[in-house]
Structure 1
Amino acid sequence: MTTVYHNPRCSKSRAALELLRSHQIEFDVVKYLEDPPSEKELQKIVKMLGIKPEQLVRKKEKRFKELGLGDQKLSDRQWIAILAANPSLIERPIVVHGGKAAIGRPTENITELLGQ
């Protein structure tokens, strides 16, 4: 099954849904701002992405600045906790498919993930 961590207000996230539909891929949508992933889920996603948790952080978000995160050196565990508590900081969209994941910026990442 394919899952999309989606923000309806994000054009790249909407484009990811359209791409999946155009490839006739069935998928579940997780509106992660309304239903944030747990720390455990985030750890799994980061592992599937093959990145460090800090690389999943949207550093230009207002919330990032409000939390004063720019000057801090944090552990992977701390970044995961911050993302779980502040889902607006999670890079989007994230598509999980076949035990792997991709951030849909650019959308070609999703095409590669699908093997198309």
Structure 2
Amino acid sequence: MNITIYHNPECGTSRNTLALIRNTGVEPEVIEYLKQPPSLAILTKLISDAGLAVREAIRQKGTPYTELGLDAPGLTDAQLLDAMLAHPILINRPFVVTPNGTRLCRPSELVLDILPLPQKGPFTKEDGEVVINSEGRRVTTSD
């Protein structure tokens, strides 16, 4: 089963997403993108395959986004991508690639839409939110 997560172990959303993948019984390929940034071609493909605009894939919080002037509306996608490659902390996370598609998994439970295998048991996010019940089914706000 080929599943890849572009992961930041310091990020709770990324840790929750990784745990949801592992809750299917699959050990994904984990790429710590801050240590091993993607190439321009891979980053462009991740963003495109996830159905996002380049600007939607940029992380603003806790990054040099404003200091680098990336909030300027006239910047091109190429300029934004160059900044993301020069400062990988600007790449929003986590991106997950499975045989069923690619997603920027914010919130982490978005990964459930592309996982090929079902959850094997209950799952509670780090903040205490129950995502998967004891029957292995997704909990929704209407439950």
Length-normalised TM-score, structure 2: 0.75
Corresponding position of 1:5: 6
Which runs of no fewer than 5 residues in structure 2 stay unpaired? Answer: 119-143
Corresponding position of 2:75: 74
> Shift in Å at residue 52 of structure 1?
1.0
Q: Output aligned runs, 1:9-48, within 5 Å.
A: 9-48=10-49
Cα RMSD over matched residues?
Answer: 1.5
> Shift in Å at residue 62 of structure 1?
3.4
SS at match of 2:102: strand
Deviations 1:66-89 (A, max 9, x none): 212122421222222111111101
Q: For the residues of structure 2 that align with 1:68 and 1:79, how far apart are their CA atoms? A: 10
Deviations 1:88-108 (A, max 9, x none): 011111111116211121122
Length-normalised TM-score, structure 1: 0.91
Report which of the two structures shows the higher radius of gyration computed on alpha carbons: 2
Which protein has greater RCO, CA pairs closer than 8 Å, 6+ apart? 1
Structure 2 CA distance for partners of 1:4 and 1:59, relative to 1, 3 Å: same
The percentage of counterpart residues that share the same residue type is 36
* Stretches (4+) displaced over 4 A: none
Whether the 8 Å CA contact 1:48–1:99 is kept in 2: the answer is no
Give the count of matched residue pairs: 116
> Shift in Å at residue 60 of structure 1?
2.4
Corresponding position of 1:98: 99
Which runs of no fewer than 5 residues in structure 1 stay unpaired? Answer: none
Residue 112 of structure 2 aligns to which amino acid in structure 1? T
